[in-house]
Structure 1
């Protein structure tokens, strides 16, 4: 009884209720449609769906594109991480920040930027006289182009995961090998890469799942190339026929969810078999001296930043500054009309900015507050409380791994009808997008907060408990002030992720409830390329500004709270 009177029991009950309503209930309805028959667990609905040629072809395309692009991401991301983590190159912080910007830019904006950078109508290439002939097939409108861009989009994810692992490895084995005369390549092949095997498996699985559910790139490149994947097929069917085909679409979404969860389970099994037991605390990473190669390595990294960030963003901005798509950028064609149109004249874009800011902002605040309590439960000395907190964290991880379109289908199933008793309809409102954001991005906010909680000294709570401080007093006067920087960082990460997304809201938006992602996609899909470029450019500027704010905040936050400050 004292447990509930103190407030901890009530907070735990509220967290469990939240997890059941937001993380479990919608996805359980999807599972009931997709993997049950006559109330029993069955694969019959999935097998029946795979009997359709279009579904089978989309399933194969999803597997193929995710498999190939993840290999590209793994090779590129691991190579960059090894250079950044093990060598003596300069400006590591600047390079890391710039290399991670593409990860924060929404995939459909990335696709639009690359389309405009490489195509026959590219303002930059036309200004330089290097554009392909008008009417020529765009080089990215192909399976190879789609795989390449998915690989580029998810390389920063792999880079981030591998770099964190490199900086947490004890150096004893590496130092012993170097004392024994091992060269750099031998050290890499015989010591570092075997120790990194579990991390590489996890990084590949993360890139695979991310590529599997990536809607923006697959839609903007795959549809013109007639290379349809499962997320695009789901969007096409529901957009063409509406909620009347919801059951069939739910089965396809379940197929995508089963595929994603299977990848996570295989990853878990492989991690258990490849786990390496290390002794010794993390130490400063190696500093392999590149000598004459250092300037060439730094030049290669600068070239990579130029190719993956500067070039596509410059092409996007150039497209936004010309009067009509396809014109070269010069003194006669430059104009600010597209920005004026997007920011001040188009009601739909102003509404989209407001809707995204409101839904992403409120979701970020709610998630950051909830994460403080869940992370506290994860660190509790009470076994039942700790297990409950870990269970909620595991559910959040699973929902984050499930593609956004699958989550949107689950929330349509859950809230298509008005809520019982309250008789409130959430479907076709901003509320359903907000709830889907809570489900999809709770794990994003939880990671930095849980990392900060681990570093707190338990003696602080013990002292307050001995002095008679209750649970809410300890939370308010001790934990919240100490965790506030991490919670704020998590809130900014959630806001960044939700503000620009299109995968979750692609099926949930309606007239009057557009988000930035859906507005940009609809402009590009409708042929208003210059307006899409202008709105995307504004979005990138806002994203970079928020990343800079997060970077500044990270100076006062514990290590590991801000991704690029690890």
Structure 2
């Protein structure tokens, strides 16, 4: 590879000026991330510790002394911890079964287990609500619905825990599968040659080495559950079981002169809880870290023998119960005129789909808005990740870059409602000198997606950079290549699969989310998630089901197309494929 003829000394000097970017480019990129991410949260913290007399901790102390707030926080912690434990068992179990055994149909099982993570939480809640209960179209059609007037079984803390666990188990599975792929094969081979049985290898070798990934999976599921809004709202409000995100949403909907300050205080409480959880996660990872020797490779596949059909059947039943049943119920509700009607040839109708696809202007606008801002955020973060990721390796970027990446981790760990409130505090008033208010616009939601999902797009790229030989950079500098040339001709192509993987995860997560956009949208800037939630919240259950069914169909088609395309792309481009 030739970049032009130049002397080694001149090449090194030019490389120093351009790149490492000298000190200009890493500082500029890091400062941009720090300002975009840090300013909203600094504004939120300032609002949470301010009062008429200036800076004070009195509002925060009053909130922590309010029984309603404490009860909401306690309920959030209880449901999130229980759901994280359940997600850890199911997600880690699936990862070990699919990653360590000779079970068949692995690709199909991985795809199906991943689907719930791509479904918006409020859609998951709607689908499960319609699967059970006295008004379930599917159960009424089968003649096994509970008596009318009986309590819905999911309107309870247990229902919230169950659905949060189903929603976040794929996150745990992804992390544990990544850990399995990074383990050296020699450790397992040595144990097997020593006569160790599979369960002994799992207990004494694999689980200790996977402990950081298990701890990270548990805490990620916990933090995700802590900030989840859709499931606790749809299941908790009918039962009078209000978690802290629901209290924040209800407080903001109540209006009043002090509503923003009150909501900022509640959001600060929630942010503190999430930060404690994030710090605890890092501590657990450090304490549980087990050093390994040897290159990573695919772990050995333990033969299940006569137990293989039972394992495959059990996994298939789990997928049937957690995915197929609620989806069939959702579709059944979308095919009748009114929720609760028995589905038969006389009641079968496509009117709800015609309504949401052809007659409701808001739904088409929501699809266009969601694809525009989610796609824009994914593409922007992919390019930004390739540039910033270069400076995260080998101390190239210094403390500013480290601070920017840490702040990105915090933005993802904090609940989406906290981010929304932080942006409201900044953009509720017109911008200085411009006199233009961005609140309620697509620009604010787009900015929220950039802040929320920066770390999702950055992490795969950082991992890809870590695997590259540092001598590539040295050789390119000696050849006279500046930073732009190195990124464009060497590191950009080398990290493109990882950047594409991160962009896909950003897009699939953002295009139908509701937690962030629930408080930021207004007429004209609706997203898919907000339209579905508003249909259900307004009592238009059949329309909500039709809209959710279309959304799930689009999600499934996208995942199927990416899976098919992934066979022709470099390994690692599609996040759920090996």
Alignment TM-score, normalising by the size of structure 1 = 0.94
Indicate how the Cα distance of structure 1 residues 511 and 93 shifts in structure 2: closer, same or farther if over 3 A, else same. same
Residue in 1 aligned with 2:554? 542
| Alpha-carbon contact 1:444-1:490 (below 8 Å) kept | yes
Q: Which aligned pairs between 1:482-521 and structure 2 lie closer than 5 A?
A: 482-521=494-533
Give a deviation string over 1:13-35, Cα, whole Å, max 9, x none.
44234213321000011122225
Q: Which moved more, 1:403-412 or 1:446-455?
A: 446-455
CA drift of 1:5 comes to 6.1
Distance 1:39 1:162 in 2: 47
- Which residue of the other structure, out of 169, 173, 177, is the alignment partner of 1:163? 177
- Which residue of the other structure, out of 196, 199, 219, is the alignment partner of 1:182? 196
CA drift of 1:292 comes to 0.7
Question: Which SS does the other structure have where 1:286 is aligned?
Answer: coil
Give a deviation string over 1:239-266, Cα, whole Å, max 9, x none.
1216741011111101111101101111
Distance 2:493 2:155 in 1: 51
Residue in 1 aligned with 2:244? 230
Distance 1:191 1:255 in 2: 40
Distance 1:325 1:131 in 2: 13
Q: Which moved more, 1:522-531 or 1:443-452?
A: 443-452
Residue in 1 aligned with 2:135? 121
Residue in 2 aligned with 1:523? 535
CA drift of 1:449 comes to 2.2
Distance 1:155 1:5 in 2: 44
Question: Which SS does the other structure have where 2:169 is aligned?
Answer: helix
Indicate how the Cα distance of structure 1 residues 553 and 392 shifts in structure 2: closer, same or farther if over 3 A, else same. farther
Distance 1:550 1:389 in 2: 32
CA drift of 1:114 comes to 0.5
Distance 2:425 2:453 in 1: 19
| Alpha-carbon contact 2:501-2:575 (below 8 Å) kept | no
CA drift of 1:185 comes to 2.3
| Alpha-carbon contact 2:27-2:397 (below 8 Å) kept | no
Aligned residues: 563
Question: Which SS does the other structure have where 2:305 is aligned?
Answer: coil
Distance 1:195 1:417 in 2: 51
Residue in 1 aligned with 2:284? 270
| Alpha-carbon contact 1:11-1:373 (below 8 Å) kept | no
| Alpha-carbon contact 1:87-1:290 (below 8 Å) kept | yes
Residue in 2 aligned with 1:402? 414
Distance 2:256 2:311 in 1: 52
Question: Which SS does the other structure have where 2:60 is aligned?
Answer: helix
Indicate how the Cα distance of structure 1 residues 5 and 512 shifts in structure 2: closer, same or farther if over 3 A, else same. same
CA drift of 1:424 comes to 2.5
Tell me whether 1:447 sits opposite 2:450 in the alignment: no
Residue in 1 aligned with 2:390? 376
Residue in 2 aligned with 1:282? 296
Question: Which SS does the other structure have where 2:254 is aligned?
Answer: helix
Residue in 2 aligned with 1:430? 442
| Alpha-carbon contact 1:170-1:278 (below 8 Å) kept | yes
CA drift of 1:238 comes to 0.2
Residue in 2 aligned with 1:51? 65
Distance 1:62 1:371 in 2: 33
| Alpha-carbon contact 2:27-2:400 (below 8 Å) kept | no
Indicate how the Cα distance of structure 1 residues 328 and 154 shifts in structure 2: closer, same or farther if over 3 A, else same. same
Distance 2:293 2:181 in 1: 15
Give a deviation string over 1:312-366, Cα, whole Å, max 9, x none.
1111111111122112222211111111100110111122112212221221222
Q: Which aligned pairs between 1:377-392 and structure 2 lie closer than 5 A?
A: 377-379=391-393, 383-392=395-404
Residue in 2 aligned with 1:417? 429
Q: Which moved more, 1:1-10 or 1:532-541?
A: 1-10
